[in-house]
Structure 1
Amino acid sequence: MLKEVDDQLDSHPPDLVIAPVGVGSFAQAVVAHYKSPGKTTKVVTVEPDTAACLWKSLAKGSPDAIQTSHTIMAGMDAGTVSSIAWPFLRDGVDASVTVSDHESHLAVQELVESSAAVLAGPCGAATLAALRRLTSTPHDRQRLNLTPDATVVLLCTEGRRPYPPPRDVSLEDATSLTQALVRINSAVPGTGTVQGPGETEIAQFIAAWLEHRDMETHWIEPTPGRPSVVGIVRGTGGGKSLMFNGHIDTVTTASYSGDPLSGVIQNGKLYGRGSADMKSGLAASLVALAEAKKTPLAGDVLLAAVADEEDLSIGTEQVLEAGWRADAAVVCEPTDETLANAHRGFAWLEVDIHGVAAHGSRFDLGVDAITRAGSFLVELARYSDSLLSGTRDDPLLGPPSVHASMVRGGEEPASYPAKCTVVLERRTVVGETPESVRGEVLELLRRAAENVAGPELNYHVRVTFFRPPFAVPETEPIVQLVKRAHESVSGEAAVVKPVSYWTDCALLADKGIPAVLYGPKGHGLHSKEEWVDVKSVETVASTLVHVMKEFCGSP
């Protein structure tokens, strides 16, 4: 290939050659050819943003394997530089460039629409994308001596092939980012009658957005198909670290009226599933992290973009299990620009009431588990009333509560049911544990047993899931800082109060990370129409930047 280039240029060396890099063997050959004695050609290499093993090795000064993430430039997704190629590339490459999938896609289109009608794939078009990146700034053009009459060779290593069109990761403002995130279906697969696709596609977009800005990016996926992404901008040292936390999943799109992925803006409202809950808060966090990249800070700034908050919250749990910590956290759920410093926890329980299966005609043999469960439900109603009576109110959270979520029992009309299962949700306050909640339900069953005629009431209780409550005092420094920042940005007084729903703040606080909820104004969470206020999204983004700068400090 290089001999053919020489022949076509009539032995006049090009001013610049751009070569794609996977493991680096092809680029090694390019360097060896154009850096031989007497030649002045400059060599530039190009890699995907999300698989830039050479770029990162050159920045570090030594070859290093990296964790890559999805790219349409699959032939360049190596993750490591050849040990043989490394010395040639280290000493011979004049510049290393990375490009996004979207930039490569635009280059594919430019080539096919050119007068030469070049049919290139995304790996082949990456060199044109790199040239477009290099010629976009006078500084890079001058360093590489890219004058209008320069001869540039773009080495194309892939022919045309089908691939999914990538999304644009050049978006900078919180509103456009919210639209982009809403247009990705990330409905949680664990709930609803229509199973959602999960978080893989949106996690890939976030990772690509972070890598495009040269932010340290970590892909966390202990549960296959349920990834979370951690982005971090390291400080200079000596400052406090701050985490922005936001979930990337949504509830089902099946119940949405209209297009749940439209992202359309009408009358200052941005519509779509997840627009409020909570892709707008996530977008605001991304904007703040990008600002941290431009502004030297003493402390680290992290973004935990987590999976599964709408189901079991395994995302934040797995990020914490991976060892990620911060001195404080802001969780950007849609709080209508108020600050939330507390919420209840919850326990899910299953109560099995046992009967005896028999033919429907054999009343002498059968024991009806469903009617016997009725005695328990009567006690449960009394228990609910007592919880709400005010005698057990938490000073910050108010009363605990309980309700029966589901009742399952029986197989067919002509048989006595052998088992009836009652599923409960018990909302908890500070100090309540899975054991204490289970003990109270057992007491209800003992009372129910006293009122059941016939055979002894046979039952079993199990706690299937538990999440703790969350509470930090209003005087907590991170709460006061967000309060001041919001008032400074918005010009309005900030309100601090508990919320009714559960959030990942509880998991963060459980690991000793003081947290506060703060996010934009919105409406229609989990309902048939959802929107977020556009102005509020920008207000939240500006507030987060203020918080970050003050909390993490200057070098």
Structure 2
Amino acid sequence: MSQRDLDLLMQTLAIDSTWGRERELAEFLADRLREWGADEVGLVESMPGRPSVGARIRGTGGGRSLILNGHLDIYEVSDDWDTDPFAPFVADGRVHGAGIADMKAATTASLAVMRRVLESGTRPRGDLVFQGVSCHFEGGVGTRSLLDAGFTADAAICGEPTDNTIGAVHRGAAYLEITTHGKQAHTAGKHLGLNAIETMEPVLAALRELEGTLPYEPHPELPGGPILNIGTIHGGTKHNQVPDRCTISLDLRLLPSQDPYEVRRQVIAMIEKLSADDPRVKATVEFSPHWLSGPRLPYEIGTDAPIARTVAGAVRTAGGEPAFRGIQFWTDMVPLKQAGIDAVNIGPGTPPYSWANEWVETSKYLEIVEIYAAAAEAWCA
């Protein structure tokens, strides 16, 4: 099976599914699943023009059902690639291709397991469900749409890159937009205006201090405190105009003990203090539309949960030693949990996850195929 599984990965890597352009890959996966004989295959428009693909292998009855979840969308590729990002190749024990770590290797491994079960001639007792989701970067919109369409189960495995370690806990996030409000004027009459870029300066300084003072409870699997990144800044219209608006976007990565809504209130309180000291500082703080499309809440289940124990056993079956490690980023385990579905994450790939000349170790990809297959057999049988 190894070469066929590797060939399937090369096919998915050759399809450009950059964020917003998932349709071609979704249709390719749906065609393959129909060709192999899946009992139910559906393309669901998660957002206009951005389908997700769901598929089901119906069990014979009496077993537990399992979702294999992976996203199709990948980040925009860097101009620093040395080769064509969508011409995958194998070299020095690694498979190279755009989005392979985040997360086409795991998504394709799930697809390979569906093929293996369908071609085996033996059905599990419980259903096996494939979720190839678009719109992951909008906060799990694709996963939610597939669940709404009926592609659901008793438990799930996600495949975000964790170097084939098992994740049962991860950080949440608060994506915030802060806008300072000034008054427009011409440079020649600057004294009649209020420069919103200049009044953003104390906000930026206060945010750097806030990163180290936000309250949280340490978590043994997620070292360190909250992480704050100022990702974008936009302000002004022309060089000779005093800007009346300046907006920054923040990504605050949080611990399970922190609530994104409370963190927003803490940022507002910080700005209110700045305004009290300097009335020129007038600002609003809102969640970004990108966050509101799927709130990035933290996630945690016990490592003794049935699906966690099953995946740990599957790692042993595949010849490895299971290791549970916290995940620093957000995953679709949150929308699954909100639907009442316990999940764990395990997938190939290492930091920085999305980068020029992205790769995954060939052995880790082939290993995850075996882990998913063993987990499906143990859980659904």
Q: TM-score, normalised by structure 2?
A: 0.91
Match of 1:448 among 253, 256, 274: 274
Which amino acid is the alignment partner of residue 199 of structure 1?
A: E
Q: Is the 8 A contact 2:52 2:131 kept in 1?
A: yes
Q: Is the 8 A contact 1:379 1:447 kept in 2?
A: no
| Percent identical | 30
Q: Which residue of 1 aligns with 2:97?
A: 272
Q: Is the 8 A contact 1:359 1:415 kept in 2?
A: yes
Q: Is the 8 A contact 2:182 2:244 kept in 1?
A: yes
Distance 2:166 2:139 in 1: 24
Which amino acid is the alignment partner of residue 16 of structure 2?
A: N
Match of 1:343 among 167, 170, 191: 170
Q: What secondary structure is seen at the aligned counterpart in 1 of 2:136?
A: coil
Shift of the alpha carbon at 1:245?
0.2
**Which structure has the larger Rg over C-alpha atoms?**
1
Shift of the alpha carbon at 1:524?
5.8
Shift of the alpha carbon at 1:302?
0.2
Q: Which residue of 1 aligns with 2:33?
A: 210
Which amino acid is the alignment partner of residue 268 of structure 2?
A: L
Q: Quick one: higher RCO (CA 8 Å, sep 6+), 1 or 2?
A: 2
Q: Is the 8 A contact 1:359 1:416 kept in 2?
A: yes
How is 1:103-502 mapped onto 2 (pairs within 5 angstroms)?
173-189=4-20, 198-215=21-38, 216-255=40-79, 256-293=81-118, 294=120, 295-387=122-214, 392-398=217-223, 399-452=225-278, 455-464=279-288, 465=291, 466-490=295-319, 492-502=320-330
Q: What secondary structure is seen at the aligned counterpart in 2 of 1:467?
A: coil
Q: What secondary structure is seen at the aligned counterpart in 1 of 2:322?
A: coil
Per-residue CA distance 1:184-220 (angstroms, 9 max, x = gap): 111113xxxxxxxx11111111111101111121111
Distance 2:193 2:341 in 1: 55
Segments of 4+ in structure 1 off by > 6 A?
Answer: none
Distance 1:541 1:467 in 2: 28
Distance 1:232 1:208 in 2: 14
Which amino acid is the alignment partner of residue 193 of structure 2?
A: G
Q: What secondary structure is seen at the aligned counterpart in 2 of 1:210?
A: helix
Distance 2:351 2:169 in 1: 21
Q: Is the 8 A contact 1:341 1:471 kept in 2?
A: yes
Distance 2:65 2:24 in 1: 28
Shift of the alpha carbon at 1:320?
2.2
Per-residue CA distance 1:460-507 (angstroms, 9 max, x = gap): 2211213111111111111121112112212x3221011111111122
Q: Which residue of 1 aligns with 2:339?
A: 511
Distance 1:377 1:253 in 2: 29
Q: Which residue of 2 aligns with 1:530?
A: 358
Distance 2:150 2:256 in 1: 26
Flag structure 2 segments of 5+ consecutive residues without an equivalent.
Answer: none
Structure 1 residues 318 and 532: alpha-carbon distance in aligned structure 2, compared to 1, 3 A threshold: same
Distance 2:374 2:108 in 1: 16
Per-residue CA distance 1:264-300 (angstroms, 9 max, x = gap): 1122211111222222212211122123323221100
How is 1:90-109 mapped onto 2 (pairs within 5 angstroms)?
none
Q: What secondary structure is seen at the aligned counterpart in 1 of 2:192?
A: coil
Distance 2:2 2:318 in 1: 23
Per-residue CA distance 1:332-376 (angstroms, 9 max, x = gap): 222211111111111211111111111212243111211111122
Shift of the alpha carbon at 1:171?
11
Distance 1:373 1:524 in 2: 30
Distance 2:360 2:46 in 1: 32
Shift of the alpha carbon at 1:241?
0.4
Distance 1:432 1:395 in 2: 15
Shift of the alpha carbon at 1:174?
1.7
Q: Is the 8 A contact 1:231 1:303 kept in 2?
A: yes
Structure 1 residues 314 and 172: alpha-carbon distance in aligned structure 2, compared to 1, 3 A threshold: farther
Which amino acid is the alignment partner of residue 152 of structure 2?
A: R
Q: What secondary structure is seen at the aligned counterpart in 2 of 1:221?
A: strand
Q: Aligned residues, how many?
A: 371
Distance 2:358 2:3 in 1: 23
Q: What secondary structure is seen at the aligned counterpart in 2 of 1:339?
A: coil
Q: What secondary structure is seen at the aligned counterpart in 1 of 2:47?
A: coil
Per-residue CA distance 1:150-204 (angstroms, 9 max, x = gap): xxxxxxxxxxxxxxxxxxxx99832111001001111113xxxxxxxx1111111
Q: Is the 8 A contact 1:468 1:506 kept in 2?
A: yes
Structure 1 residues 326 and 212: alpha-carbon distance in aligned structure 2, compared to 1, 3 A threshold: same
Structure 1 residues 219 and 211: alpha-carbon distance in aligned structure 2, compared to 1, 3 A threshold: same
Q: What secondary structure is seen at the aligned counterpart in 1 of 2:177?
A: strand
Shift of the alpha carbon at 1:324?
2.8
Bigger mean CA offset, 504-513 vs 178-187: 504-513
Q: Is the 8 A contact 1:336 1:519 kept in 2?
A: yes
Q: Is the 8 A contact 1:393 1:400 kept in 2?
A: no
Q: Is the 8 A contact 1:244 1:330 kept in 2?
A: yes
